[in-house]
Structure 1
Amino acid sequence: MLEISSGIRHFPGYLDRFHQEAMVETIREIVSAAPLFTPVMPGTGKPMSVRMSNCGELGWVTDKDRGYRYQPVHPLIGEPWPPIPPELLDIWTAVSGYPLPPQACLINFYSDDAKMGLHQDKDEQDLKAPVVSISLGNSCLFRIGGTARNDRTQSLKLSSGDVIVLGGEGRLCFHGVDRIYPATSTLLKSGGRINLTLRRVTP
């Protein structure tokens, strides 16, 4: 485990290849019930470069009219999200240091040309709970700043099987994905990267 800065911890290679492959199969089952969709920015309706889904009692969504929020059903099919699988709950228990379970797991799929701008995870009511992020597939360049958008940033490469925890003073740090490194993993047949983000929403 590496302490990147106060409250931000990196667990390189937390999942070995066997468990990464099993996790991908689990995610495929979730996405078959809760299909990937393209989120759009509030106000402008500009589509993001990632596709996403969720599992858990709540899912994070965004659209042009209602903006960022959590809701209990898929925005396109109107069905409840599938439950968070036990193996993801086990990771949360092992690394989060938080007594309550996660309520949402965002599933973001990055194609090899996708990215995610600097942002804060602040749509949750419970900001004492950390955010736990799991990387699968191609490596990415992950950028972390401070709690103000213009704070100095640092970058690190996240590889398949890595886990990163944003907690404590780092819970509201700005962070993003600057680029995906194609052909750095053979986990996903068609390339790209899956990011799983576990969050506690309510106290």
Structure 2
Amino acid sequence: FFANYSHKEPTNTLADYGETRKEAIFGVRAEIELLSSGRDSFAVVAASRELEASKLGVDAEKRHLLSTLQNIWLSLHNTLALIECYKTAVKSSEQFMVSTKEGYLEGKFTLLDVLNSQQEYFHTVSQYRGARYNYYVLCQQFKRTLGISNDFQLPTQIYQEVEIKEGETGDSNADNAAGKN
């Protein structure tokens, strides 16, 4: 679309004959290439194919994201169940360690049995802490995949921790139970 307007003021010279002249030109200009060899139609077809390919790519990424989130969610659920099992195992292992120590003091078990029970206890504690660490890593991975900030806290049940005796070998518990201090 184009427009052109010109206007002349009257002058008192003989060259312009003393007239005022006004001009206005309006119009629409369209250029069409008649022999473009189908270039425009090929461009439209190529653009529509690129659009379809990008839609398929977006759909594939959505499916991949959903699959990833489902896998992480299932891993979180399974890890929580594993943590609960390890809590029970830690308590059980601690009771076994204490009873083995008491049995040793009574002469029913050897020192090797006591050491094996202590080793089993600390191995169970290590597995429990490893499961808690894995849960934390999975929570971070889940939040990162969703794009959630680190300030957001996922509901957790693992913060109700089992009371683990740091650095103790079970000797003080057995000594207290046997009346020795």
Normalised by the shorter chain, which TM-score bucket?
under 0.3
Greater percentage in strand: 1
* Higher RCO (Cα < 8 Å, 6 or more apart): 1
Tell which structure's C-alpha radius of gyration is larger. Answer: 2
User: Normalised by the size of structure 2, how large is the TM-score?
Assistant: 0.22
